[in-house]
Amino acid sequence: MNEKLKAFERLLIIMDDLRSKCPWDKKQTLETLRTLTVEETYELSDAILNNDINEIKKELGDLMLHIVFYSKIASETNDFDISDVLNSVCEKNIFRHPHVYSDSNFDDAEEVSKNWEELKLKEKDGNKKVLGGIPTHLPSMIKAKRIQDKVRSVGFDWEYKEQVWDKVEEEFNELKHEIKDMNKEKMTSEFGDLFFSLVNAARLYGINPDDALEMTNRKFINRFEYLENETIKKGKSLKKMSLDSMNKIWNEAKKYYK
Protein backbone atom coordinates (compact mmCIF):
# COMPACT_ATOMS: atom_id res chain seq x y z
CA MET A 1 0.00 0.00 0.00
CA ASN A 2 2.83 2.43 0.83
CA GLU A 3 4.28 2.05 -2.67
CA LYS A 4 0.89 2.85 -4.21
CA LEU A 5 0.47 5.94 -2.03
CA LYS A 6 3.99 7.10 -2.87
CA ALA A 7 3.30 6.71 -6.60
CA PHE A 8 0.06 8.71 -6.29
CA GLU A 9 1.79 11.40 -4.23
CA ARG A 10 4.50 11.61 -6.90
CA LEU A 11 1.86 12.25 -9.55
CA LEU A 12 0.28 15.00 -7.44
CA ILE A 13 3.68 16.70 -7.02
CA ILE A 14 4.37 16.47 -10.76
CA MET A 15 0.95 18.00 -11.47
CA ASP A 16 1.76 20.91 -9.14
CA ASP A 17 5.03 21.43 -11.02
CA LEU A 18 3.39 21.30 -14.43
CA ARG A 19 0.63 23.71 -13.46
CA SER A 20 3.07 26.25 -12.04
CA LYS A 21 5.99 25.96 -14.48
CA CYS A 22 4.80 24.68 -17.88
CA PRO A 23 3.26 27.34 -20.20
CA TRP A 24 0.98 24.79 -21.90
CA ASP A 25 -0.28 23.21 -18.68
CA LYS A 26 -0.86 26.62 -17.10
CA LYS A 27 -3.20 27.58 -19.94
CA GLN A 28 -5.47 24.55 -19.71
CA THR A 29 -9.04 24.73 -18.41
CA LEU A 30 -11.74 22.14 -17.72
CA GLU A 31 -13.14 22.88 -21.17
CA THR A 32 -9.85 22.58 -23.09
CA LEU A 33 -9.07 19.24 -21.48
CA ARG A 34 -12.45 17.70 -22.29
CA THR A 35 -11.79 16.64 -25.89
CA LEU A 36 -8.33 15.38 -24.95
CA THR A 37 -9.90 13.20 -22.26
CA VAL A 38 -12.36 11.76 -24.78
CA GLU A 39 -9.42 10.93 -27.06
CA GLU A 40 -7.53 9.25 -24.21
CA THR A 41 -10.61 7.19 -23.36
CA TYR A 42 -10.84 5.87 -26.91
CA GLU A 43 -7.12 5.08 -26.89
CA LEU A 44 -7.66 3.03 -23.74
CA SER A 45 -10.60 1.30 -25.42
CA ASP A 46 -8.42 0.37 -28.40
CA ALA A 47 -5.71 -1.01 -26.10
CA ILE A 48 -8.28 -3.15 -24.29
CA LEU A 49 -9.73 -4.50 -27.55
CA ASN A 50 -6.19 -5.30 -28.72
CA ASN A 51 -5.47 -6.99 -25.38
CA ASP A 52 -2.25 -4.94 -25.25
CA ILE A 53 -1.48 -4.99 -21.53
CA ASN A 54 1.43 -2.55 -21.77
CA GLU A 55 -0.68 -0.04 -23.70
CA ILE A 56 -3.57 -0.48 -21.27
CA LYS A 57 -1.21 0.44 -18.43
CA LYS A 58 0.04 3.51 -20.29
CA GLU A 59 -3.43 4.71 -21.26
CA LEU A 60 -4.73 4.26 -17.72
CA GLY A 61 -1.85 6.46 -16.61
CA ASP A 62 -2.87 9.13 -19.12
CA LEU A 63 -6.44 9.06 -17.82
CA MET A 64 -5.22 9.22 -14.23
CA LEU A 65 -3.20 12.31 -15.13
CA HIS A 66 -6.35 13.91 -16.54
CA ILE A 67 -8.30 13.21 -13.36
CA VAL A 68 -5.56 14.80 -11.28
CA PHE A 69 -5.37 17.69 -13.77
CA TYR A 70 -9.10 18.47 -13.52
CA SER A 71 -8.91 18.29 -9.74
CA LYS A 72 -5.92 20.62 -9.66
CA ILE A 73 -7.70 23.21 -11.81
CA ALA A 74 -10.81 23.04 -9.62
CA SER A 75 -8.74 23.39 -6.45
CA GLU A 76 -7.38 26.71 -7.71
CA THR A 77 -10.91 28.16 -7.60
CA ASN A 78 -11.75 26.37 -4.33
CA ASP A 79 -14.45 24.28 -6.00
CA PHE A 80 -13.02 20.87 -5.08
CA ASP A 81 -9.73 19.02 -4.96
CA ILE A 82 -8.50 15.47 -5.48
CA SER A 83 -9.45 14.40 -1.96
CA ASP A 84 -13.04 15.53 -2.61
CA VAL A 85 -13.08 13.51 -5.82
CA LEU A 86 -11.77 10.36 -4.15
CA ASN A 87 -13.99 10.65 -1.08
CA SER A 88 -17.02 11.22 -3.30
CA VAL A 89 -16.48 8.05 -5.31
CA CYS A 90 -15.75 6.08 -2.12
CA GLU A 91 -19.01 7.18 -0.49
CA LYS A 92 -20.95 6.51 -3.68
CA ASN A 93 -19.63 2.97 -3.97
CA ILE A 94 -20.28 2.19 -0.32
CA PHE A 95 -23.88 3.38 -0.74
CA ARG A 96 -24.40 1.45 -3.97
CA HIS A 97 -22.98 -1.81 -2.59
CA PRO A 98 -25.15 -2.60 0.43
CA HIS A 99 -24.46 -6.31 -0.17
CA VAL A 100 -20.81 -5.58 0.62
CA TYR A 101 -21.06 -2.90 3.31
CA SER A 102 -24.34 -3.85 5.04
CA ASP A 103 -26.63 -6.81 5.60
CA SER A 104 -28.27 -6.83 2.16
CA ASN A 105 -27.87 -9.97 0.06
CA PHE A 106 -28.19 -10.55 -3.68
CA ASP A 107 -27.99 -13.89 -5.44
CA ASP A 108 -26.26 -12.83 -8.64
CA ALA A 109 -24.79 -9.98 -10.70
CA GLU A 110 -28.16 -9.33 -12.38
CA GLU A 111 -29.79 -8.49 -9.04
CA VAL A 112 -26.84 -6.30 -8.09
CA SER A 113 -27.18 -4.39 -11.36
CA LYS A 114 -30.92 -3.78 -10.88
CA ASN A 115 -30.42 -2.63 -7.30
CA TRP A 116 -27.59 -0.34 -8.45
CA GLU A 117 -29.98 1.57 -10.71
CA GLU A 118 -32.63 1.78 -7.97
CA LEU A 119 -30.11 3.16 -5.49
CA LYS A 120 -28.95 5.78 -8.00
CA LEU A 121 -32.51 7.14 -8.11
CA LYS A 122 -32.56 7.42 -4.32
CA GLU A 123 -29.29 9.31 -3.95
CA LYS A 124 -29.74 12.71 -2.35
CA ASP A 125 -28.12 14.64 -5.16
CA GLY A 126 -29.00 12.21 -7.92
CA ASN A 127 -31.36 12.81 -10.81
CA LYS A 128 -34.81 11.44 -9.87
CA LYS A 129 -35.82 10.49 -13.41
CA VAL A 130 -35.05 7.02 -14.71
CA LEU A 131 -33.32 8.28 -17.85
CA GLY A 132 -31.66 11.21 -16.13
CA GLY A 133 -27.90 11.32 -16.07
CA ILE A 134 -27.28 9.72 -19.46
CA PRO A 135 -24.59 11.88 -21.13
CA THR A 136 -25.99 13.78 -24.12
CA HIS A 137 -22.95 13.16 -26.27
CA LEU A 138 -22.50 9.43 -25.69
CA PRO A 139 -22.02 7.52 -28.97
CA SER A 140 -25.49 6.58 -30.16
CA MET A 141 -25.10 2.81 -29.89
CA ILE A 142 -23.71 3.02 -26.35
CA LYS A 143 -26.46 5.46 -25.42
CA ALA A 144 -29.15 3.09 -26.77
CA LYS A 145 -27.87 0.25 -24.61
CA ARG A 146 -27.62 2.53 -21.57
CA ILE A 147 -31.23 3.67 -22.08
CA GLN A 148 -32.39 0.07 -22.26
CA ASP A 149 -30.39 -0.92 -19.16
CA LYS A 150 -31.98 1.90 -17.18
CA VAL A 151 -35.60 1.23 -18.14
CA ARG A 152 -35.07 -2.47 -17.46
CA SER A 153 -34.27 -1.57 -13.83
CA VAL A 154 -37.88 -0.44 -13.33
CA GLY A 155 -39.38 -3.46 -15.08
CA PHE A 156 -39.84 -2.00 -18.58
CA ASP A 157 -38.48 -4.96 -20.50
CA TRP A 158 -39.53 -8.06 -22.41
CA GLU A 159 -40.98 -10.86 -20.31
CA TYR A 160 -39.03 -13.39 -22.39
CA LYS A 161 -35.96 -12.41 -24.41
CA GLU A 162 -37.17 -14.39 -27.44
CA GLN A 163 -40.00 -11.85 -27.85
CA VAL A 164 -37.54 -9.23 -29.04
CA TRP A 165 -37.19 -10.94 -32.42
CA ASP A 166 -40.79 -10.15 -33.31
CA LYS A 167 -39.96 -6.50 -32.70
CA VAL A 168 -36.82 -6.72 -34.83
CA GLU A 169 -38.85 -8.26 -37.66
CA GLU A 170 -41.56 -5.62 -37.26
CA GLU A 171 -39.05 -2.78 -37.53
CA PHE A 172 -37.33 -4.43 -40.51
CA ASN A 173 -40.64 -4.71 -42.38
CA GLU A 174 -41.51 -1.08 -41.60
CA LEU A 175 -38.13 -0.04 -43.01
CA LYS A 176 -38.68 -2.02 -46.21
CA HIS A 177 -42.09 -0.35 -46.60
CA GLU A 178 -40.57 3.13 -46.34
CA ILE A 179 -37.77 2.21 -48.74
CA LYS A 180 -40.39 1.59 -51.42
CA ASP A 181 -41.52 5.22 -51.14
CA MET A 182 -37.90 6.50 -50.86
CA ASN A 183 -38.86 9.05 -48.21
CA LYS A 184 -35.47 9.80 -46.69
CA GLU A 185 -36.79 11.23 -43.42
CA LYS A 186 -39.03 8.22 -42.76
CA MET A 187 -36.32 5.81 -43.89
CA THR A 188 -33.87 7.40 -41.46
CA SER A 189 -36.39 7.06 -38.65
CA GLU A 190 -37.05 3.40 -39.44
CA PHE A 191 -33.34 2.62 -39.70
CA GLY A 192 -32.99 4.10 -36.23
CA ASP A 193 -35.85 1.96 -34.91
CA LEU A 194 -34.28 -1.15 -36.42
CA PHE A 195 -30.86 -0.36 -34.91
CA PHE A 196 -32.47 0.28 -31.51
CA SER A 197 -34.30 -3.07 -31.61
CA LEU A 198 -31.09 -4.89 -32.59
CA VAL A 199 -29.21 -3.24 -29.72
CA ASN A 200 -32.03 -4.42 -27.47
CA ALA A 201 -31.69 -7.97 -28.79
CA ALA A 202 -27.94 -7.93 -28.21
CA ARG A 203 -28.46 -6.72 -24.65
CA LEU A 204 -30.96 -9.47 -23.89
CA TYR A 205 -28.52 -12.11 -25.09
CA GLY A 206 -25.62 -10.70 -23.09
CA ILE A 207 -23.80 -9.22 -26.08
CA ASN A 208 -22.29 -5.74 -26.00
CA PRO A 209 -23.45 -4.33 -29.37
CA ASP A 210 -20.61 -1.80 -29.56
CA ASP A 211 -18.03 -4.58 -29.07
CA ALA A 212 -19.81 -6.73 -31.65
CA LEU A 213 -19.82 -3.98 -34.27
CA GLU A 214 -16.18 -3.09 -33.58
CA MET A 215 -15.25 -6.76 -33.98
CA THR A 216 -16.91 -6.74 -37.39
CA ASN A 217 -15.24 -3.42 -38.31
CA ARG A 218 -11.82 -4.90 -37.59
CA LYS A 219 -12.64 -8.13 -39.40
CA PHE A 220 -13.75 -6.17 -42.47
CA ILE A 221 -10.60 -4.03 -42.40
CA ASN A 222 -8.38 -7.14 -42.22
CA ARG A 223 -10.22 -8.81 -45.08
CA PHE A 224 -10.18 -5.70 -47.24
CA GLU A 225 -6.47 -5.13 -46.60
CA TYR A 226 -5.88 -8.74 -47.66
CA LEU A 227 -7.85 -8.08 -50.84
CA GLU A 228 -5.86 -4.90 -51.47
CA ASN A 229 -2.47 -6.51 -50.81
CA GLU A 230 -3.20 -9.54 -52.98
CA THR A 231 -4.34 -7.26 -55.79
CA ILE A 232 -1.12 -5.24 -55.58
CA LYS A 233 0.95 -8.45 -55.63
CA LYS A 234 -0.71 -9.34 -58.92
CA GLY A 235 0.13 -5.92 -60.34
CA LYS A 236 -3.51 -4.96 -60.64
CA SER A 237 -5.73 -2.12 -59.41
CA LEU A 238 -8.93 -2.57 -57.42
CA LYS A 239 -10.56 0.17 -59.47
CA LYS A 240 -10.04 -1.86 -62.63
CA MET A 241 -11.01 -5.26 -61.21
CA SER A 242 -14.42 -6.84 -61.69
CA LEU A 243 -16.57 -7.49 -58.66
CA ASP A 244 -16.33 -11.24 -59.34
CA SER A 245 -12.53 -11.06 -59.23
CA MET A 246 -12.60 -9.10 -55.99
CA ASN A 247 -15.09 -11.54 -54.42
CA LYS A 248 -12.79 -14.45 -55.26
CA ILE A 249 -9.94 -12.90 -53.24
CA TRP A 250 -12.39 -11.76 -50.57
CA ASN A 251 -13.49 -15.36 -50.04
CA GLU A 252 -9.82 -16.29 -49.60
CA ALA A 253 -9.50 -13.57 -46.96
CA LYS A 254 -12.47 -15.00 -45.06
CA LYS A 255 -10.46 -18.18 -44.46
CA TYR A 256 -7.83 -16.18 -42.58
CA TYR A 257 -10.02 -13.59 -40.84
CA LYS A 258 -13.13 -15.14 -39.32
CA-only gyration radius of the chain, Å = 24
Q: What is the chain's pLDDT, residue by residue, as a tens digit (258 residues)? A: 799 999 999 999 999 999 999 999 999 999 999 989 999 999 999 999 889 999 999 999 999 999 999 999 999 999 999 999 999 999 888 888 887 777 766 666 666 666 666 666 666 555 578 888 788 888 899 999 999 988 988 889 999 999 999 999 999 999 999 999 999 999 999 999 999 999 999 999 999 999 999 999 999 999 999 999 999 988 888 988 899 999 999 999 999 888
Q: Are 205 and 194 in contact (CB under 8 A)?
A: no
The CATH number assigned to the domain with range 133-210 reads 1.10.287.1080
- DSSP 8-class letter at 240: G
Pick 2-80's CATH classification: 1.10.540.10, 1.10.287.1080, 3.40.50.300, 1.20.1250.20: 1.10.287.1080
CA-based nearest residue to 257, from 223, 221, 217: 223
CA–CA separation, 46 and 55 (whole Å): 9
pTM above 0.75, yes or no: no
CA–CA separation, 257 and 41 (whole Å): 27
